[in-house]
Amino acid sequence: MNARADARGDRGAAVVEFALVSILLTVLVLGVLQVGLALYVRNTLVACASAGARYGANANRTPADGAAYTERLVARSLADRYAVDVTGGVEVRDGAEVVVVEVDAPLPVVGLIGPVGGITVRGHALREGVGP
């Protein structure tokens, strides 16, 4: 075979190669962005649950106040649909009362859309006592 025949056989290969590689690269970049978004949502929920637990642990507040505060924080930080299942309560750990705020939220799979109850985070704070 001569050099001209080899050159004609490779014509158009760069276009096909670019199309295939660009599709693969786009999927890879979108996957990395989605993982980053899921981590952002999780970290935001953890911060809101912790802030709500600290708020509910104040001497003049109840765990229900902490849960309501967490709902407001989550609704402002992410979206209202992430603040649907927020609960507050008190646990005893090593003889000390601890306020616990738990948030069950959707796990973002495609954008911010995902199955309900995909992420469960908890915030804890030592409950303040009222003096004698």
Confidence (pLDDT) at 131: 58
Domain assignment present for residue 132? The answer is: no
- The tens digit of pLDDT for each residue in 68-123 reads 999 999 999 998 888 889 999 999 999 889 999 999 999 888 877 778 778 999 99
- The tens digit of pLDDT for each residue in 38-59 reads 999 999 999 999 999 999 999 8
For residue 119, give the nearest of 38, 34, 31, 51 by alpha carbon.
38
The yes-or-no verdict on residue 20 having pLDDT over 70 is yes
Domain assignment present for residue 131? The answer is: no
Alpha helices in 1-132 (DSSP H): 3-9, 13-56, 63-77
DSSP state of 40: H
- The tens digit of pLDDT for each residue in 106-118 reads 988 887 777 877 8
- Residue span of the structural domain in which 40 resides: 3-126
Domain assignment present for residue 108? The answer is: yes
Q: What's the structural domain count of the chain? A: 1
Residue 62 in tokens: 């109840």
